[in-house]
Amino acid sequence: MRDEQHGPHQMHFAAIAFASTFSPRHRAASGLRAMLGALCLVISASAATLAPTLAHAQSPFSAAVYVNDTAISNYDVTQKMRFLEFIGASGPNPRERAIERLIEDRLQLQEVRRMGGRLTPDQLDAGMAEFSARAELTAEEMLARLAEAGIDRETFVNFIRAGVMWREYIQAIYGPQLNITEAQIDQALSVEGVQPVTEVLISEIFLPADPQFAEAVERVIPQIQRIRSETEFANAARQVSASPSAASGGRVDRWVNIAALPPQVGSAMESAGIGTVVGPIEVPGAYAFFQLRARRNSRDVPASNVALTYYRAALPGGRSEQNMAIFERLRGQVDLCAGFPAEVLRAVPTLPESAVTEITGTQAEINAATRAELERLNAGEMSANLVEGNDLVVLMLCRRSVSEENMPSREEVLMGLRNRALEGHGMIHLQRLRAEAEIRYP
């Protein structure tokens, strides 16, 4: 349901003022060095905020945390840890993740009940049966397996109750607002068949490999390697990442084919726990870190059956402040590939037309670094993470199509789009509840 999502703690950045100065338009060398140095202090300082959740109270039934004055006991936490381990979603910090999931469960139930929501016994039974069926078990067989693992019935019931009530609540609030267009279905059909056997949701941090940043980058790399939560990683990305995704905490909001990632990243993420950070990985002009947020299995389409059409522009000067400003301008003004060449040449009048090229080829024919960048893009999106020679490489994905048969029906795609849209609304709604809640540790 949600147990492979989100990191457990909110980092408190002592140097938060740096965030506003490190926009893509203002990445001067001195500023980047300052921020890379500040991150070392920032990550260390966050350890103090984690201490309350790592302390184990003597009694299993004493409170581990309060959510709006509702207690979550140490017994609840232990049970949740076992349950998350049972379903393969415990991550590298099991107790922290269990507390985070329990906080979300409590917030969801409190909100639904505040609005008068209720769950009937039939709905609860259906939810338990639906979840159990994913493992090809009946609800009773699932409960028996859980009992063998030391997990009581109430832990499973509470998990299902929170999930079903929240799903129904979000559907009731946001469902009538959804308007999935035919164009969206067409786009989804062009992407749907591309899905690989294993896909991941990732976040990314790119540190510049330019010599003038070498000392600062060397200091901050070990700090990023010690990150264990999604919140820490997101805050670090906002502070120091040279990628355009920095503003969103490094989040790549697209399921990514692990085969399209650098080999050492893809192989690690195939079996790594949620929250694992992989890196640094050397890519042209940068050192990259990737954090695993979620993983799923899906369709398998050979890379030779996936056709990509994209534009590539090479801007002299590498990852300079001027080039990053040009990239931000392009990203803000160009929505369709048809306008990309003219806008690039308008932004850089000295650039020869040959520096902007339209390329069509199968996924198997494209070099690994470019393929990894394009895999993280939807049609109409741009990337500026690669530097080749002294050129900043700007990529814009125009189209992704497949020749695979047995594509899903339009009705199936429509349902998938609705579910993803509702999931997005639910995540935002939950984040708002979290921000407004009183969460305290004894």
Question: Which are the contacts of 427, defined by CB distance < 8 A and separation ≥ 6?
Answer: 5
**pTM of this prediction?**
0.47
On whether residue 413 sits in a domain, the answer given is no
What's the alpha-carbon Rg for the chain, to the nearest Å? 23
- Asked whether residue 170 falls in the same domain as residue 69, the answer is yes
Say whether both 104 and 128 belong to one domain: yes
Whether pLDDT at 287 is above 90: no
> What confidence score (pLDDT) does residue 302 get?
65
What's the mean pLDDT in 369-385? 87
DSSP-derived 3-state class of residue 136: coil
pLDDT of residue 128: 93
Q: State the angle between helix axes of 121-133 and 139-148 in degrees (0 to 180), rounded to the nearest 10.
A: 70
**Residue 76 and residue 153 in one domain:** yes
Task: Identify the pLDDT of residue 54.
Answer: 43
Q: Are residues 287 and 354 in the same domain?
A: no
Query: For the domain that residue 359 is a member of, what is the CATH number?
Result: 3.10.50.40
Percent of residues, the chain, with pLDDT higher than 90:
31
Residues 126 and 99 in one domain: yes
| 40 plus 72 within the same structural domain | no
For residue 45, pLDDT beyond 70? no
Count of structural domains within the chain: 3
pLDDT number for residue 44: 46
> Does 329 lie in the same domain as 366?
yes
- Are 103 and 167 in a shared domain? yes
Residue 60 shares a structural domain with residue 167: yes
Looking at the structure, tell me whether residues 272 and 200 fall in a common domain. yes
| pLDDT at 27 exceeding the cut of 50 | no
| Model pLDDT, residue 437 | 84
What tokens appear for 109 in the block? 């139930």
Contacts of 132 (CB under 8 A, 6+ apart): 138, 139, 141, 142
pLDDT digits (tens, 9 = 90+) for 185-210: 877 676 555 444 578 888 999 998 88
Structural domain for 23, as ranges: 18-47+194-297
pLDDT band at 12 (very low <50, low <70, confident <90, very high): very low
Domain shared by 83 and 131, yes or no: yes
pLDDT tens digits for range 142-196: 999 999 999 999 999 999 999 999 999 999 988 998 888 888 787 767 655 544 4
CA distances (Å), origin 82, targets 9, 78, 124, 152: 20, 6, 21, 10
The residue-averaged pLDDT of 287-308 equals: 77
For residue 121, whether the previous peptide bond is cis, meaning omega lies within 30 degrees of 0, is no
| Mean local confidence (pLDDT), 260-283 | 80
Per-residue pLDDT reduced to its tens digit, 55-73: 444 577 888 899 998 999 9
Tell me the pLDDT tens digit for each residue of 379-407: 889 999 898 888 999 999 998 877 555 56
| Per-residue model confidence as pLDDT tens digits over 72-116 | 999 999 999 999 888 877 666 788 888 989 999 999 999 999 999
- For 261, the 3-state DSSP assignment is coil
